Structure 1
Amino acid sequence: MTVATSLIPGLDDIVKRSDPRRRGEIARAIAALFFQDAAKLRPDLVDLFDNLLIDLVPHAELAARADLAERFSYLDNAPPHLVGELARENEIMVAAPVLRRSPVLDDAALVEIARLKGQGHLLAITERPILSADITDVLVERGDRDVVRRAASNAGATFSDGGYSELIKRASQDGVLTLKIGQREDLSGEHLKELLNGTLGVIRRRLSSVVNPSRQVEIKRTMVAIEEAALPPGPRRDFSAAQRTVLGLYRGGHLGESALLGFAKAQKYEESIASLSAMAGVRLTILDRLIAGDRYDPILILGRFLNLGWPTVRALILLWYGPHRKPADADIEAARNNFTRLMPATAERVVNFWRNRQPI
């Protein structure tokens, strides 16, 4: 029996022997006195109510506990011991309101609860208007998919460097989480690069469409940097002379399929790629990487997009093989069939994607 309990005749007997409904009725009656003038209560009176209610509320029926937790969760001067007890309840109906918003709970209490309680408690904590890095570290470490997604969506959440790295690691297997992290205003350039590096291309494209314009530019630049860093070591091609040649053809009005066919037949790789880049509007370094790959499909796509004839496309395929390799007739015929079947709309979608990969 507390000192506060002894001030009310018979209250101790109610606490010890009464059923939960009776305890709930008494708790509600005492809480009603608190709510009548809560803003004006002195700290010593708040402590008195705290001592009274801490003996009653935890033993009251579930509905009474949930109702009082909801009402106390909005008060700056709610009885602190009672709020702490409610927040630690296993019944999430009781704990959730105070975990979501009670200003009485400090970071130490929230970290303790996040470390010990279940996913329902963690999910409620993610809805607080402000979350410190100490709290989010635990949420990212212990939380399930829904908890981590909700924490990443909270604009008032702060993440430590370690917390961000763990968040990004989990995002590599969760496209929804990737999108939520990518939209955070506090995402640093390094963390953005880390996020994109472990993300599938389809998620990257989706991310580029949902973030603000300034972040879109940053994403595209980061994607180009990641792709360039992945290039194999060795000398890079020098396109400067080829670009000057192509620019001269363009200014003279002679850049077209005929010039491209001439470059391809002469096995002039740099001039051919520079011509395709200018004609298709795709960044030169991206086009070079695509065509220098282990498949000639990009040539078919560019040929259909630019409405090139089969002789020009065939010459570009032979350029891809190089002067020291001769493809089988069956391979060339298969390439012609694939080129014929390729829909212009499909080629246009792919080329537009290649264009969007370049920085603005």
Structure 2
Amino acid sequence: MSGLTQSNLVDFDALALEQDEKRRSELARHVAMLFSRTSERCTDEQIAIYDDVMVRLSAMIEQEARAYLAQSLSTLRRAPERTVLKLAKDDIQVAEPLLKSSTVLRDLDLQDIASNQSNEHRLAIAQRTILPESVTNVLVAEGDLPVKRSVAANAGAQLSDASVEKLIETAADDEVLQLAIGEREDLVEGQIKQLIEIASEKVKIHLLESGRMEEAGRLSQAAGVAASKLGNEFWLGRYDFETAEGKVYGIAREGQLGEHHLRQFAEEDRFPEAVAAFSVMARLGAEEARHWMVREDTDPFIVAAKSIGLSFMTVRALLKIGPWRYRLSQVRREHALELFQRLSLKEATRLFSIWEKQQVS
């Protein structure tokens, strides 16, 4: 693969002078097809080379070819980050498949695009399988009516109380939005009552017939309806752990890996890197660490985190990223933090040592 940049296969100087756009477009399609077929086998270095090539090519090809490039990358778990982000900010004809499906885009990326791009971009984001509050807050605040309808109808979209109130306020004049909100299973009693107050007669009948008032007293499913039904393997399959492990192991080999890296990964929403760093610091196998940081039972993670001396701030940050952002309710998150504070270093070390011996035996 390193020969791709060293040979004449991609001569960017010559391409810049090429008058016929077809040659540039054909090359872009060839590179995209090659990468999509080999991405799972590529090394970190090879992905970085592809990234450089595709970023440069994307600036030299027509919209149709960029759209092909984006479509090819949209479903890949291991896709070049800079290329994906660049195309996700392109015209909606290019960006749409990435905004709808790419797991390479981080929540921070989606927030930025939702804030600064068009309603068409927001509508595509609103159709993602999973959406955290940080993104839906922007979509509801900035999006037009179709965007709000799509967010409300998305069972995998987490909504803050403020977003629900905004949606209900907008729904006063829109029956379709009223129905979409009424179908959600994460509304609490007060929100259902608010909705019924502004709903049309048709929607009121639908809400009452569906028994919403009877179920309004249940606890809010803050982790999201869709998220609660998805198993560990679904979540683990969304992330590129291999590339992240390569980066983190490189830092560790230089003797530089520390808690500040772990905190930074959490703050930057880099879940795979955080998992890799935690596995090295806690002396856990990579696969074991992945499952510990995706499961709804956080006790093993909390014990290990305490035993290696992580701070409260770092643990709190880690409990809010990746799958835990969706899978943990606020109550569970607070329970985990209480356990972390209650555990002594001596007790955590003892429990973790027992677990390690069990794994060896």
Normalising by structure 1, what TM-score? 0.56
Count of paired positions:
214
5 Å-filtered alignment, 1:5-16, equals: 7-9=6-8, 11-16=11-16
Q: Does 1:70 align with 2:67?
A: no
Query: Could you say which residue in structure 2 is the equivalent of 1:39?
Result: 40
**After the TM superposition, which residues 145-294 of structure 1 pair with which residues of structure 2 at under 5 Å, given as runs?**
145-209=145-209, 211=210, 213=211, 215=212, 217-218=214-215
Alignment of 1:101-120 (within 5 A): 101-120=101-120
Contact 1:131–1:156 at 8 Å: present in 2 too?
A: yes
Distance 2:202 2:58 in 1: 52
Distance 1:17 1:206 in 2: 63
Whether the aligned pair in 2 keeps the contact of 1:15 and 1:56 (CA below 8 Å) is no
CA distance in 2, matches of 1:189, 1:219: 4
Rate the CA distance shift 1:4–1:128 in 2: closer, same or farther, 3 A. farther
Whichever residue aligns with residue 61 of structure 1, its letter is: E
1:59 match: secondary structure: coil
State yes or no: 1:131 paired with 2:131. yes
Q: Would the aligned equivalents of 1:99 and 1:125 in 2 still touch at CA under 8 Å?
A: yes
Contact 1:28 1:64 in 2 (8 A): yes
Offset at residue 8 of structure 1 (A): 3.4
Q: Which residue of 1 aligns with 2:122?
A: 122
Residues 24, 57 of structure 1: 8 Å contact kept: no
Structure 1 residues 188 and 14, CA, compared in 2 at 3 Å: closer, same or farther?
A: farther
**Contact conserved, 2:29 with 2:68, CA < 8 A, in 1?**
no
Deviation, structure 1 residue 161:
1.1
Post-superposition offset of 1:174: 1.1
Q: Secondary structure at the match of 2:59?
A: helix
Structure 2 gaps, min length 5: 218-361
Distance 1:197 1:144, change over 3 A: same
Q: Decide whether aligned partners of structure 1 residues 68 and 6 sit closer, same or farther in structure 2, where only a CA change above 3 A counts.
A: closer
Q: Is the 8 A contact 2:29 2:69 kept in 1?
A: yes
Does the 8 Å CA contact 2:107/2:135 hold for their aligned counterparts?
Answer: yes
Structure 2 distance, partners of 1:5, 1:57, is 17
Is 1:99–1:121's contact at 8 Å kept on the other side of the alignment?
yes
Deviations 1:15-46 (A, max 9, x none): 42224322111112222321232111112211
Q: TM-score, normalised by structure 2?
A: 0.56
Say if 1:151 and 1:157, in contact at 8 Å, map to a contact too.
yes
Find the aligned partners of 1:82 and 1:75 in 2 and give their Cα distance. Answer: 13
Q: Is the 8 A contact 1:172 1:198 kept in 2?
A: yes
Residue in 2 aligned with 1:21?
22
Deviation at residue 126 of structure 1 after TM alignment? 1.0
Alignment deviations for residues 141-179 of structure 1 (CA, whole Å, 9 cap, x no partner): 111111111111111000111111111111111111111
Greater relative contact order: 1 or 2 (C-alpha under 8 angstroms, separation 6 or more)? 2
Report if the CA contact (8 A) 1:6-1:12 is conserved.
Answer: no
In structure 2, give the amino acid aligned to 1:106.
Answer: R
Whole-angstrom CA distance in 2 between matches of 1:102 and 1:96: 10
158 and 219 in structure 1: CA distance in 2 versus 1, 3 angstrom threshold: closer
Unaligned 5+ runs, structure 1? 221-360
Higher mean alpha-carbon deviation, 66-75 vs 9-18, is at 9-18
Give the superposition deviation at 1:12. Answer: 1.9
Aligned partners of 2:138, 2:155: CA distance in 1, in Å?
17
- In the alignment, the residues of structure 1 paired with residue 139 and residue 199 of structure 2 have an alpha-carbon distance, to the nearest angstrom, of 22
Paired with 2:14 and 2:106, the residues of 1 have a C-alpha distance of 32
CA change 1:202–1:35 in 2 (3 A) is closer
* Pair member with larger Rg: 1
Query: How big is each residue's C-alpha offset from its partner over 1:184-239, in whole Å with a ceiling of 9 and x where there is no partner?
Result: 01111121112122223343113334x3x4x253479xxxxxxxxxxxxxxxxxxx
The answer as to whether partners of 1:5 and 1:51 remain within 8 angstroms in 2 is: no
Distance in 2 (alpha carbons) for counterparts of 1:69 and 1:156: 24
**1:37 partner SS:** helix
Contact 1:208/1:219 (CA < 8 Å) preserved in 2?
A: no
Identity %: 36
